[in-house]
Structure 1
Amino acid sequence: MTVDYRAQTVLLTGASSGIGAAFATALAARGSSLVLVARRAERLAAMADELHRAHGVRVEAVPFDLAHPAAGSELRQAVADRGVAVTSLINNAAFGTFSRFADADPGRLAAEIAVDVAAPVQLTAAFMPQLLSAANGFIINLAGVSAYFPSPRMAVYSAGKAFVLSFTESLWTELRGTGLTAFAVSPGATDTDFTTGMGPGAGVLTSGRTRTPGDVVATALAHLERRDPGPSVIDGRSNQLGVIMSRLASRRRSALLMDRVFDPDRRAKTTAA
């Protein structure tokens, strides 16, 4: 696909840190205008100013909580009030909870579903007319390798990413021939602040080798620029191999294996043995 980045105005959620910030930097460097969405207003404003000064592109900062029930229509209005027409969308915002489901706070889980599952659907629906009208843009949804197998202690997050992956692959099929490209990118363990505040023991998620936010963005944009991008891409060779191996195992074996992988006490148990 030939991408004219300078013709793009990209709405990017979860833009204030991690993979979102890396997307913002890479796209601004390529000449895209940006609408940055996140809850942290001061951080978002500082980033918008920095990207504008560094690359001369238009950058709008829109502080917004995607857990709102009417996130799609409210954010569409906020963007329209700034006189911006969006041509592309990156649904990156998400958060997780690391605990056994029985011990999790129901209110937090509801917010997690709102941000991780409902918001990507609402925003895609709300901005779809603009995106189709532009006819040369893209939708990139952040799924994750946890979309491909169960993740005990992250049951809702894993299920949410599985939803995003399936939703996006269906969109890819429906949008073929429209000029609007859609695909999901699935990172594995990445060096971000994602685990902050998830719960005790969440550090086990990044205890091994991690990819960088820049790696994930490079994978996504390289996929976008392919002649005929497929419906999804997995970041990192080891993550790709892990997904392949999980598909060879039974669902029972996969679930039990991931229970061990996500056990925060596994290293202590191994040492004791």
Structure 2
Amino acid sequence: MDQSRHVLITGASRGIGLALAREFARRGYPLVVTARDPGPLAVAARELRESFGVSVLDVAGDLSDRSAPGRIATALDDRGISPHILINNAGFGLYGPFLSISPEEEEKLLQVNISALVTLTRLFLPAMRARREGGVMNVASTAGFLPGPLMASYYASKAFVVSFSHALARELAGTGLTATALCPGPTISEFQERSGMHQSWILRKATLSAEAVARAGAEGFLRRKPLVVPGAFNKASVFSSRLAPRTLAARVVEKLQG
């Protein structure tokens, strides 16, 4: 692997983000990893270097801060790094009725899950297009195919990511670039506790590991697939969601999450 072909991964200190970092490091890609908390990020970066022998630059940044994407881009530019692959993995959920969520937390969710993802893509995609090589993987969710009572903004944010990624894949056709939406279902990770959703029936039924999701995502991206849905059950869920009336789907999701 050409050691100049960096992969930039957000939210890479744990869960699916760290598993994706391991997948690309195993393939010999040098990495740039970012996350909100410097301590866990530094630990993850050290583990990646020692385990895979690749270059790993860790750049801490809280993507709920609107200035963070620009600061990350500047840090890379100062080091002469222009990523060939961008993996927008950072994101979080908030559990509860819409009106029970504080406006401040809601704004942070939208900033991380949508605005930062779009901004980072806009910052790094032009250089990829000029090289006619590389691309973007956006970590969405099977939630992006459904309305999500009790996690309304999270489900809606992932619907944006799915739609944005499909549109981007079409616009990039013929340019040599790839855009992929990775849509895992419930995954064994820290997401349940961090979102306050550990009491939800849906996430209590999580069976796929972050490693399995990352493996499917990396393989799908490198095969230029616009959509990757890991797991047979999740594929069936996405297919059935396209057939069910939205009002019925909303009632079912609300019951399963309650």
TM-score normalised according to structure 2 size: 0.95
1:248 aligns with 2:243: yes
Alignment correspondent of 2:143: 146
Deviation of residue 230 (structure 1)?
Answer: 3.4
Deviation of residue 203 (structure 1)?
Answer: 4.4
Q: Pick from 106, 122, 126 the counterpart of residue 125 of structure 1.
A: 122
The amino acid of 1:244's aligned partner reads F
For the pair shown, the structure with the greater C-alpha radius of gyration is 1
For residues 183-232 of structure 1, what are the alpha-carbon distances to aligned partners after superposition, in whole Å with 9 as ceiling and x for unaligned?
10100000000122323654434211421011111111221233xx3321
1:96 aligns with 2:111: no
Unaligned runs of 5+ in 2: none
Q: Pick from 180, 184, 187 the counterpart of residue 181 of structure 2.
A: 184
* Structure 2 Cα separation of the partners of residues 209 and 160 of structure 1: 21
Q: Pick from 192, 195, 219 the counterpart of residue 195 of structure 1.
A: 192
Deviation of residue 17 (structure 1)?
Answer: 0.2
Deviation of residue 123 (structure 1)?
Answer: 0.1
Alignment correspondent of 1:271: none
* Structure 2 Cα separation of the partners of residues 181 and 235 of structure 1: 18
Alignment correspondent of 2:68: 71
Q: Pick from 6, 14, 17 the counterpart of residue 17 of structure 1.
A: 14
Alignment correspondent of 1:171: 168
Could you tell me whether the CA contact under 8 Å between 1:5 and 1:27 is conserved in 2? no
The alignment yields a C-alpha RMSD, in angstroms, of 1.6
Could you tell me whether the CA contact under 8 Å between 2:136 and 2:179 is conserved in 1? yes
The amino acid of 2:246's aligned partner reads R
The amino acid of 2:168's aligned partner reads L
- Please identify, of 103-112 and 72-81, the stretch whose mean Cα deviation from structure 2 is larger: 72-81
The amino acid of 1:261's aligned partner reads L
Could you tell me whether the CA contact under 8 Å between 2:192 and 2:198 is conserved in 1? no
* Structure 2 Cα separation of the partners of residues 64 and 139 of structure 1: 19
For residues 89-147 of structure 1, what are the alpha-carbon distances to aligned partners after superposition, in whole Å with 9 as ceiling and x for unaligned?
00000000000001111100000000001011000001112222332212100010000
Q: Which runs of 4+ in 1 moved over 6 A?
A: none
TM-score normalised according to structure 1 size: 0.90
Q: How many residues end up aligned between the 2 structures? A: 258
Could you tell me whether the CA contact under 8 Å between 1:6 and 1:30 is conserved in 2? no
* Structure 1 Cα separation of the partners of residues 198 and 46 of structure 2: 36
- Secondary structure of the equivalent of 2:235? helix
- Secondary structure of the equivalent of 1:183? strand
1:204 aligns with 2:196: no
Q: Pick from 129, 142, 153 the counterpart of residue 156 of structure 1.
A: 153
Alignment correspondent of 2:212: 215
- Please identify, of 70-79 and 172-181, the stretch whose mean Cα deviation from structure 2 is larger: 70-79
Unaligned runs of 5+ in 1: 264-273
- Secondary structure of the equivalent of 1:195? helix
* Structure 2 Cα separation of the partners of residues 98 and 107 of structure 1: 14
- Secondary structure of the equivalent of 1:261? helix
Query: What is the identity percentage for the equivalent residue pairs of Structure 1 and Structure 2?
Result: 36
* Structure 1 Cα separation of the partners of residues 45 and 206 of structure 2: 31
